[in-house]
Structures are given as structure tokens and as C-alpha cells.
Structure 1
């Protein structure tokens, strides 16, 4: 039985969970949420598995896989299901991996600067807020244009797994502009997918952890 270690409110844990849920892959979830009676052992396992001791961590027998993208690649190869997480066509697979990097690096990581500033100082400085808004909005506009030629899969791929947490939390920090209609509609579509809505609902009770204050929506 596969095991996944993570937190229900963690963006990158969501990324792995969506892939598992989409394919109905059996697994045991070790939630590092303070409510787990085996919290200490689970946390120690995560700490020892990777250089920085971060989750999510996937355990398959004696195999440990960390980093959410690598977990999804592993699932696609060793535990495939009805949702083809990585396209079989090599060129399409390159595009899928490229877009995974877009959402992680240019949306999630850019947004994270505001979150980190709020954690460190209790608020976001004007300088950081302006820089994050410029970077994230630039990414939004590029993705909105890319969506004009994107054919949505019937299920989910690595693209959707990466897009969901990035767009969910980034929109809390910097709203998607009204003129990015394709992106706003796609975000709403993604949040309605069963594997995604399950993550949203399971994490709802942890929203008070969001350092900028979770908006009363989604």
C-alpha cells in the first residue's frame, strides 16, 4: 500500500493528492496536522527522507519519493490509472512538464514571497506586495493567452495537478484580473473537479493558518 506524508492545507501536498484521487489509487495518508497520534514518527520519517525534510513524501515499500512533481512522475510510471498524468506522446510530455514549471516557479513561488513576508514580519511590505503583484499578474496574463490553445483533458494531468494549488492560493494573494477571463473560468472549472474539491474541503478547517487571512470564498 502506498503511503503519502503531508498536510491537508499544503499546496504541494494537494498536488500529489489530486493525482492519487484522480486515479482512485489506494494509499494511506499520514497527515502532519497535529491531530495524528503518530505525528512524531511521521514527522521523523519526512525529516530523514530528503535534504530539507519537506513534504509531501511518497513511500512505496522501500522506495521513498519526495518533491510533488517527482511523485506524480512516479505514479504515472508505476501506478497508472484512467487519468494519464504524463502524456504518452514525447512532445506533449515536454509541454506538460514545461507548464508544471510555469505554475510552480512563476505563480506559486512568486506568490510565496508575500506569504513569507507576512510570516516573518506580521504583514506584507509595500515593496514585496508590489513586486509579487507584478510578477504574478504577468504570469496570469501569459497563462490566459496559453489557455486559448489548450485542450482540456477529460480527467487531470500533471498540468492540472500543478495549476490547482498555484491558482487557488495565488488568487488569494493577487486576484486574477477581470480581463483574464479564460484563466478565471479555468480556475473555477478546476475547483469543481471531484479530486480537487475533496482537497479543498479537507483543508477548510485549517484556513486560519493562512498568514494573510483566507478570503470568505472558494
Structure 2
């Protein structure tokens, strides 16, 4: 097997690439990395000194591919699945890339700000930053709800790169900042994501690690049991 994905099963950005791999039905070897353990982390830092996961390694050509969006584009180009995750039409591809970046920048990152602040030591928390992050999430939810009117997936009828990004971002964000009741298109989209086989598989694999999630007490019961 030429592909190895260095990851942690709880990490939302890792989920993004796992979903893409399961969508494309691409064989790969998952390697769980504990970045707090220098010996474990070295599996990543020896290849990509920045030390961020997920990290994709392709033994064919000894290629190291960092950054989730680049990883999914690489998979689409070199290990294409039944349906492209980056549309072949240039305009549709631009739209998928736009919403991929939207979910990463305006859902994933503020969600991680909120979660990360929960585990800061006493006296080092950032209430103002967390309030800003929650405001960003609420703004993003309204924009996503408007985008989804009349659409099955983030950019239309096809499941794309954007949906790979949306699923883990919305999963964790919905726990720390629940969707407003009026955003019915967003809520329906989230339910479609949850039953998508690639997403359901990724979350099932993450379930044993949910006890480590800093907002574990806020996680709905339906996510904790089969």
C-alpha cells in the first residue's frame, strides 16, 4: 500500500481527509500520532518539520503531501475515485474550493479556538477571543444556511471537497455552538452529512476517543452510541 496517513482519530482536520479517502475508496495505511510524545511526533516532524497532522506520504515517488486541501486534490489527481471530489468543470471547481476554504477558515478555526480555550491553564484563557469565535460561527451558520437553499450538498448535487471539509467542521462546531433553530437548511444538510457512509465511518472510528474531547459533556448522546 503506497499511501500512509499520519493522523489522530479525534482531530477534525484529519477527519476531512479520511472522508475523502473513504469517498474515493482508496487503500491507505492509517498511523495514529501522539504529538505530545516526541517519539511518536517524529513520524511527522521528520517528514514535515511544521509537525501538523494529517500528513500524507506516498511511497510512490517518496512524496510528502501536507495540508488537507492539497491532500484531497492530490488524491483526486493520482488516486481518483468513482466521483471526483474536485469537479472537472472549472467554475464548479472554483465554487468547491471556495466553500472548502470557508468551512476551514470560518467554522473549523473558530471552533478550535473555543475548544482550545477550554483546556488552557487558569489565568491564561481568552474570553474575548472565544466570544469573537462564537460570533464568527454564528455568522458562518447564517451564510451556510443561505448557500444550502435548494442544494443537496455544499455546492450542488455532487458531494465534493467542500463537503469533506464541512462534515467535521460542523460536527464539532455544533457541539460548542449549536445551530440556531431558524437555520433549517443547515440543520437538514448536517443530517445528510451524518448518514453519508464516509462520514459515518469516520465518526464511528473516532467514537472511542470522544472522552478526550474538551466539551465531552455537551456532546449529544446520539454521537456516543452506535
Same fold (TM > 0.5) = yes
Task: From the superposition, tell whether residues 9 and 79 of structure 1 become closer, same or farther in structure 2 (CA, over 3 Å).
Answer: same
d(CA) in 2 for partners of 1:51, 1:31: 17
1:202 to 194, 205, 209: 205
Q: Post-superposition shift, 1:119?
A: 1.6
Corresponding residue to 1:43 among 30, 36, 41:
41
Alignment check: 8 A CA contact 2:151 2:157 kept: no
Is this contact kept in 2: 1:13–1:55, CA < 8 A? Answer: yes
1:54 alignment partner, one of 30, 52, 55? 52
1:29-178 mapped onto 2 (5 Å cutoff): 29-32=30-33, 43-61=41-59, 62-121=62-121, 126-152=127-153, 156-178=159-181
SS of the residue corresponding to residue 121 of structure 1 reads: coil
1:8 and 2:2 are equivalent in the alignment: no
TM-score normalized with structure 1 length: 0.90
Contact 1:113–1:132 (CA<8 Å) still a contact in 2? yes
Cα deviation for residue 49 of structure 1 reads 2.4
Q: Deviations over 1:143-189 (max 9, x none)?
A: 10011143536763101100001000000110011100000111111
- CA–CA separation in structure 1 for the residues paired with 2:33 and 2:158: 28
Structure 2 spans left out of the alignment, 5+ residues: none
User: What is the root-mean-square deviation in Å for CA atoms of aligned residues?
Assistant: 2.1
SS of the equivalent of 2:6 reads strand
CA offsets 1:30-78 (integer angstroms, 9 cap, x no match): 12259xxxx8765312112224211111111100101111100000000
Structure 1 residue 131 displacement after superposition: 2.1
Unpaired runs of 5+ residues, structure 1, are none
Number of aligned pairs?
214
Residue number in structure 2 paired with 1:181: 184
Q: Which has the higher contact order (CA 8 A, sep 6+)?
A: 1
- Normalised by the size of structure 2, how large is the TM-score? 0.87
Residue 86 of structure 1: CA displacement? 0.3
Give me the whole-angstrom Cα distance separating, in 1, the residues matched to 2:130 and 2:39. Answer: 38
